[in-house]
Structure 1
């Protein structure tokens, strides 16, 4: 890229080079919805279609570190691909929003298990949105477009507790849209329509409410235990667990629906409008 046209942004003291679009996708994949970096450096990109009018198609696309497509899967199994996450065992978790289910695969696309009653709203999920992982192998699911709750599960998928209700007060949600986990299993939730991020203990105690965002879409936590938030302004904001802003930048046109961190510290952006994968590459001084 010619240096005169290279786009950069700063998030605090860290400079990034914007590479957009990034990666190769098969034709007619639908709309980019989310992205997750795998432990081996590969990338899982999630795309979605309207299940009412579109034929089934693969929704999980595995790219290598350079963005080349390795394989795709999900057609006929995932109805409404909303968010994706990869755990420490390299298992791929796909949140099937309107099917009220979370489906778990290995990196080759072999199904390992499913959580929730498929096409059974309220059993326990009611249009879930996202999933994140606890230190003991348990996990949390934000739920979601109708549930206004966070569900906590143990390592074997057993329900532990659920907290939250519909509303605008502390500990309440309108649409809990994204989730990540800090040290000590503190749960960070992008409370989108309430324009805030909330932090909870794994039992549901409110530990912090930070309202400097406009429709926050997603959150992730880096290895230094700081929180990144993407919202609809659009900004990409870095905060600490006390809600202090450590940096802000504009890394996309309209704000990514989901984002993740790659193995080398790059930030991967899943943009729906325009539909594309972008990445922010750290610039080392």
Structure 2
């Protein structure tokens, strides 16, 4: 190696490259830094991991190393709070999707409830995403087979989709994410595909790789990186996949030795390259990957 045609002292050097599974956070249980069926994960303004601890009926916050910071529990509702997914707005408001009470719970980082909405429209809500374009909140409803759209203040705006296999139809939609240009990506679980819509809810295209390492059987979680790459968790086989936003398969991030067992939630850090954080639901932990 040279700079200005002059050899760099000390060359050659060995530069270690970290790739693949780099961290496992948590184990099965109900104590701090333990989980029971974590469904989803998001990253707050402090770069902490906010995990939907589904079977423990709470949100648990850890730092990036996995050290416990806080637990949020909401016990004021008619039925026990049963979180399924979470999205965090640009002003750090937590939007938690409560499957038991069928509503969105908006709180601050300390667990103070600001508002709830969606009770009149949501049936079996499952996934939630916030548009970086207009701040609207997108919620997928599994047995409703559609996506419902709200303002951040909870006003119901519209819905799109119906049950079926056609373009713009769903069969158990789960994860949803919105790009900086307003494109909406939905994990259409039982149709084994990702569907993409524009900001006006119009169907654009789908991708549904069904062979090799990119085999997409029952996609659940979905995240997007810089509008260029889409990351998808699949239940069968349990895997973490990377695609170009146009749907072209890029690579599988995990390997068989990583032992994923029903991964669902997924979030991306702001590192370069980004770290992919996912909930390994049936292993009751969080796993962090570097590409």
TM-score (normalised: structure 2) = 0.81
Q: Aligned residue for 2:11? A: none
1:254 aligns with 2:261: yes
Question: 2:199 matched to which residue of 1?
Answer: 202
Contact 1:167 1:173 in 2 (8 A): yes
Q: Say whether the 8 Å CA contact 1:40–1:263 is kept in structure 2.
A: no
1:71 to 2:70 alignment: yes
Checking the alignment, whether the CA contact within 8 Å between 2:263 and 2:281 is kept in structure 1 is yes
Identify which range, 75-84 or 204-213, moves more after superposition.
75-84
Of 144, 151, 154, the match for 2:151: 154
The corresponding residue for 1:32 is 38
SS in 2 for 1:26: coil
Distance 1:28 1:15 in 2: 26
1:98 aligned counterpart, secondary structure: coil
Q: 1:237: which partner in 2?
A: 241
User: What is the rounded CA distance, in whole Å, between the counterparts of 2:94 and 2:181 in structure 1?
Assistant: 23
Q: Tell me, what secondary structure is at the counterpart of 1:185?
A: coil
User: What is the alpha-carbon distance in structure 2 between the residues aligned to residue 248 and residue 65 of structure 1?
Assistant: 23
Unmatched segments (≥5 aa) in structure 2 = 1-16, 210-215
Q: Do the aligned residues in 1 keep the contact of 2:240 with 2:253 (CA within 8 Å)?
A: yes
Q: Provide the aligned C-alpha RMSD in A.
A: 2.1
Q: Deviation at 1:215?
A: 0.2
When normalised by structure 1's length, the TM-score is 0.83
Hey, what's the Cα distance between the residues in 1 that align with 2:33 and 2:229?
A: 37
Alignment-derived partner of residue 5 in structure 1 = none
Larger RCO, structure (CA 8 Å, separation 6 or more) = 1
Decide which structure has the larger Cα Rg and report it.
2
Between Structure 1 and Structure 2, how many residues are aligned?
256
Give distance in 2, aligned partners of 1:204 and 1:281: 33
Q: Could you list the runs of 4 or more consecutive aligned residues of structure 1 that deviate by over 6 angstroms after TM superposition? A: none
- Closer, same or farther: CA 27–133 of 1 in aligned 2, 3 Å: closer
> How does 1:15-94 map onto structure 2 within 5 Å?
16-23=19-26, 26=32, 29-49=35-55, 59-77=58-76, 79-94=81-96
Contact 1:153 1:160 in 2 (8 A): yes
Any conservation in 1 of the 2:40–2:279 contact (CA below 8 Å)?
yes
Give ranges in structure 1 of 5+ residues lacking alignment: 1-13, 50-56, 118-122
CA distance in structure 1 between the aligned counterparts of 2:83 and 2:148, rounded to whole angstroms: 19
Deviation at 1:224, TM superposition (A): 4.4
Give the structure 2 partner of residue 281 of structure 1.
290
2:239–2:260 contact (8 Å) kept in structure 1: no
Deviates more, 1:248-257 or 1:135-144: 248-257
